[in-house]
Amino acid sequence: MRENAMRTIVVAAIALVLVAFACIQFASDAFSASAAAPGSVPSRVPIRLALDIYRTLGRAAPAAYVEATLAQYELEHGDTDAAQRDAVRLPPIAVRNELLGQIALARGDRVLALEYFFAAPDIAALGREVLRVARTDPAAAYAFERHVSDRLVTLQTHPDAVAETHWTMSQLAAEAAHRLSPGSVAQTTWLRRALGDGIAAVQLSPLSEKYLLQVAALQLALGNPDAARRWYHRVLGVDPGSTDALAGLRSAARARARARPQ
């Protein structure tokens, strides 16, 4: 008798779990209905029903993906208050800060949004901010990207991601230099800063062609054709058919010839 009762309890528990998974799948299909083929089952699931299922799950057994999905849905539909109520129920994980940052941005509070994006860190969102600032002030964008790089280093992020921030800083420093008087001390300072960041990127990712090309071009811009030539040859070691490196070698040869005493 006891064994039968236990068997019944186990079967009932399994059945409940299966029903719960079915409900979750059913609701998840509704949230992805916009990407589903017309006439398919997901495209026919009422979104209000899916919302009710997820909210019931959120009350009964809170799960991060449930709260995150609800918050994202509310945010996309312009209800920032509801989105925030869902987002703050998330544990202190990256997606919580990303959502709160998106909510702050939707409300027009860029300063608060950036604080959340730094905390996450949300690299894509921070990258968009760098591009926005760079359009008018590459020097300010450079300082911002420096903070992003320092944050990634603190979090022990993968070296490739840190290398990309150094390459971005190198690009921004070069753009800042481009806006200054040719040959001025200020321009040279920015070009050297760009070179330093480019070399830092190469040190973290030595086989990246774009990082090597950046350093070579900056050596040329700083009047170092022999150094530029060495860097362009490093590019060819990575990609023997690099047209950019071959063109760079021709430019370095011309610069060297111009610099040769007559």
- pLDDT tens readout for residues 86-103: 898 888 889 999 999 999
Reported pTM: 0.75
Provide mean pLDDT across the span 30-42. 49
* pLDDT for position 92: 86
DSSP 77: T
Q: Round to whole Å and give the CA distance between 160 and 154.
A: 14
Does the residue 42 lie in any domain? no
Q: Round to whole Å and give the CA distance between 56 and 53.
A: 5
Are 191 and 172 part of one and the same domain? yes
Are 173 and 235 part of one and the same domain? no
State how many domains the chain has: 2
Query: Is a pLDDT exceeding 60 seen at residue 28?
Result: no
| Percent share of the chain, pLDDT over 70 | 75
Query: Is a pLDDT exceeding 70 seen at residue 6?
Result: no
* pLDDT for position 55: 63
Does the residue 37 lie in any domain? no
Final residue of a structural domain among 189, 206, 223: 206
Does the residue 115 lie in any domain? no
Does the residue 262 lie in any domain? no
Residue 46 · residue 61 · CB < 8 Å: no
- pLDDT band for 10, please (50, 70, 90 cuts): very low
Structural domain including 233 reads 211-257
* pLDDT for position 32: 54
Q: Round to whole Å and give the CA distance between 9 and 238.
A: 64
- pLDDT band for 218, please (50, 70, 90 cuts): very high
Are 140 and 182 part of one and the same domain? yes
Are 187 and 236 part of one and the same domain? no
Does the residue 93 lie in any domain? no
Are 174 and 232 part of one and the same domain? no
Does the residue 183 lie in any domain? yes
Residue 212 · residue 201 · CB < 8 Å: no
Residue 112 · residue 104 · CB < 8 Å: yes
Are 199 and 216 part of one and the same domain? no
